[in-house]
Amino acid sequence: MARSTTRRTVVTIDVSVSPAARRRQDHLTAEEPLEIRVRKKPLAVTMRTPGHDIDLAMGFLLSEGVISRAGDVTTAQLCAGTDTPNTYNVVDVVLDPSVPPPVTDPSRNFYTTSSCGVCGKASIDAVRVRSHFDVAADPMRIPARLLAGLPEKLRAAQRTFDRTGGLHAAGLFTAAGDLVVLREDVGRHNAVDKVLGWALREGRLPLTGHLLLVSGRASFELTQKAWTAGLPMLAAVSAPSTLAAELAEEAGMTLVGFLREPRMNVYTGAHRVTF
């Protein structure tokens, strides 16, 4: 199994001191390709930080509508691939015989990687078909003061970020503010897939009464992933996109951006944030 970080000698330069340069060891976030195969046929390749790769593959298949529950997967295992020495950068998933195989022809768009080039209505319609959960009816409520403090909880739980400063985080929280699970990755969408894949394998879907907090911005792809997992709330420490807000409104999801204590912007579903 590849490491999530590696050490490298760097030259650090500080023009305010003399001498200005010194050599030291620095930690870098690992970034390697992961190929996801279904029934031994390549489906997708994503650049990710090694770790929790089975969860990443399961979360990806969930958000792409290939599977909807853990029982849809017979086996999921890391494979050797063709690299020497062995890097285990391949996950092979075997679906239950009752599950239709994913479409892999060139006309098929994986919205996680190509949503920027798709018109808004087409994207939203496609996600609506894939989501199995009605989040609009979720009665979840969370106090604004409690919500404002969650980014600090997320940051405090990021172990690898402290060494590298180069990872995104996604955290699943209860309405009481308890952190259920956190995942880090060089890719924002991968961190979310790792969280959703964990929830799928643990039999927790739909994620009624929970919220997903991400360390970056709230994009369309992250909003669609949250919807496919049945999450009633997505919060981000940075800005949402226009299409993310449109999709959240369509789904009946609460979308919070610029969540930085003591402030936040609630773009949709403000009734779930109480005072």
Q: Are 260 and 238 in contact (CB under 8 A)?
A: no
Going along 52-208, which residue ranges are E strands? 73-79, 90-95, 142-143, 168-174, 179-185
Known catalytic residues are: 116
* Bigger pLDDT: 140 vs 89: 140
Q: For the whole model, what pTM was predicted?
A: 0.86
Does pLDDT of 130 surpass 90? no
Q: Which residues are annotated as a binding site?
A: 258-263
Predicted confidence band of residue 19 (pLDDT cuts 50, 70, 90): confident
* Bigger pLDDT: 127 vs 39: 39
pLDDT in tens, 62-93: 998 899 999 999 999 998 656 555 568 999 99
